[in-house]
Structure 1
Amino acid sequence: MKYATYTADDQTFYGAVTDDGMIALNADFPQWPTLLDVVQAGGFAALEEAAKAKRVTHTDFEFEMVLPNAPRILCVGVNFPDRNAEYKDGSEQPKYMSLFPRFASGFTGHNRPLIRPPENETLDYEGEVAIVIGKTGRRIRQADAYDHISAITLCNEGTIRDWVRHAKFNVTQGKNWDNSGAIGPWLVPFTDASQLDDARIITRVNGEVRQDDVLSRMMHPIRREIEYISTFMTLQPGDIIVTGTPTGSGARLDPPQYLKPGDVVEVEVNGIGTLRNTVEDERL
């Protein structure tokens, strides 16, 4: 079963996703007012049981960023071998992973527009798998890493490319424009290693495949990401790790092809689904 945050009738709900619409569940669990609370309580089994006894609540709704109150979002950069080569700097595979923070305000939901700001037009896409931590841990061993995952979802880690070069050592400015990326459409509870080990990422822009790779080729696999990150910080339920994008982002094409209003970007991963977004200019 899949679970999403959505709005309907000017209210925000979370619930189970079906082919016919949404089954609202938040009213059944007042102790868990948001989907983040469900993650932190390990409540997916209870949600599934409740959803079996209910009918579709909403057929007219809009998806929100799946965890709009996510406390911490950490992204892994340059994590595929061809992606490293795209930089054409002669560097070998890095020993340690590149990391940077993103904030929930930088993400919108499925079928919502990514927003291109007037300050710069270099809005780019990055299709990725995101994992949601469900169990507290520090110095987690790789062998135990998957035990700490609650759910998986998709991310279009939209980036204003020119702004990642505003300073010498950080990319935070280019990575946190409001509604420049998307996370969703939903959370898929994590139950089996094959959900990640066998996953394939495909990113399309206007139907054209731009990114196509498998997670098994990551330079720093997800087990290693959890191990490394939990070395210096305690991972908490609700933390999101955006795990890395394959080669083929717009900035690395010749000539570069940045997103523009009217474009449609789709990030597809087998076993999770498809995250779809249009592109609009910011309304001032």
Structure 2
Amino acid sequence: MKSIPARIAAFHANGSDRYGLVTDEGIIDLTPEFRTRFPSLKEVIEAGALEELIKAAEGRSAAYREEDVDYLIPIDKPEKLICIGVNFPDRNAEYKDGQAAPSKPSMFIRFPRSFTGHEGNLVRPPESPQLDYEGEVTIVIGKGGRRIAEADAYDHIAALTLCNEGTIRDWVRHAKFNVTQGKNWDSSGAIGPWLVPFRSADQLDDIELTTRVNGEMRQQDRTSRMMFSFRYIIAYVSTFCTLVPGDVIVCGTPTGAGARFDPPVWLKPGDVIEVEAEGIGLLRNGVEDEQC
């Protein structure tokens, strides 16, 4: 049986943002000891101090039950939050445009405010009912660099998490060359539930990624089938920009999003979406309408 990986979460409790180690008994609050040095998990990543936090939690009792906290996105102010599009073979076929699989990855930028944390609700805006889901494995950069070689790419990953890269589908088609408008509605997606420190290639190279809506399997694939590997993504992105600690890269979703059903099936209030990946965890979110 595989051991449970260390899980380091950002959360809100007792009127302040905090972070700590998630255990089966609850959350060990490490904020009082480390807040001066590390105001948030971004500074922990920058200092390469995830293992220090894990060690500090040894022998301590949980201060909070999970149900008594509000989970936050793990890195709330990354310098860059980059998303990779069309990264599974069947996803390219979904577009039904007759084009061959791309030779280079598509990508776009999202703003942190467009995400909520684990157990938070995705928000459907009044401007469109076409809120959709996309389950994705997400990497957090720990060591910065420029023109990183693929062979060295894993040395630059600090941690793993998950993303439901929620999308307002009709708004991604408002312009010819970008999808920014449909990808950045406030709280339209989610990141979490926590950070799992990255220690070896088997945490990424061939793990199952699934998305369920109301218990129904909608997406299921393995990362070994990605058209652009994690190593390639890091090397490619770092060619045109300098990666820095705390940067977040969302690495692509399998086939099965709601837009690809006939007719399309959009998310609605009351739905529950679960994104799960082996060795990382399960990101769960509901849906609500925006209160204007």
Q: The TM-score by the shorter chain falls in which range?
A: over 0.9
Matched with 1:99 is: 107
Q: Which residue of 2 aligns with 1:6?
A: 11
- Corresponding residue for 1:51? 57
**Runs of 5+ consecutive residues of structure 1 not aligned to the other structure:** none
Q: Secondary structure at the match of 2:204?
A: helix
**How many residue pairs align between the two structures?**
284
**Corresponding residue for 2:258?**
250
Residue equivalent to 2:3: none
> Map of 1:261-280 to 2, 5 A cutoff?
261-280=269-288
Is the 2:79–2:244 contact (alpha carbons within 8 Å) kept by the matching residues of 1? no
Determine whether 1:27 maps to 2:32: yes
Q: Equivalents in 2 of 1:249, 1:25: separation in Å?
A: 38
The yes-or-no answer on 1:141 pairing with 2:149 is: yes
Partner of 1:38: 44
Spell out the pairing of 1:52-91 with structure 2 (5 A cutoff). 52-59=58-65, 60-91=68-99
Letter in 1 for 2:104: Y
The offset of 1:62, in angstroms, is 1.4
**Residue 228 of structure 1 aligns to which amino acid in structure 2?**
Y
Q: 1:20 deviation in Å?
A: 1.3
Q: CA deviation at 1:148?
A: 0.3
Q: Distance in 1 between matches of 2:257 and 2:199?
A: 30
Distance (whole Å) between structure 2 residues aligned to residue 199 and residue 257 of structure 1? 27
Letter in 2 for 1:166: H
SS of 2:38 mapped into structure 1: coil
Shift of 1:188: 0.0
Shift of 1:54: 2.2
Residues in 1 aligned to 2:177 and 2:105: alpha-carbon distance in whole angstroms: 14
Question: Do 2:132 and 2:167's aligned partners in 1 also have CA atoms closer than 8 Å?
Answer: yes
Per the alignment, residue 124 of structure 2 pairs with 116
Matches within 5 A, 1:115-264: 115-264=123-272
Secondary structure in 1 aligned to 2:219?
strand
Q: Secondary structure in 1 aligned to 2:87?
A: coil
CA distance in 2, matches of 1:108, 1:67: 11
Q: Name the SS of the counterpart of 1:52 in structure 2.
A: coil
Measured in 2, the distance between the counterparts of 1:19 and 1:132 equals 24
> Structure 2 regions of 5+ residues with no counterpart?
1-5
What SS class does the counterpart of residue 164 from structure 1 fall into?
helix
AA aligned to 1:210 is R
Residue pair 2:123, 2:287 contacting (<8 A) in 1 also: yes
Q: Name segments (4+ residues, structure 1) moved above 6 Å.
A: none
- The RMSD of aligned alpha carbons is 0.7
Q: Deviations over 1:114-153 (max 9, x none)?
A: 0000011100000000000000111011100000000000
Report deviation, 1:70.
2.0
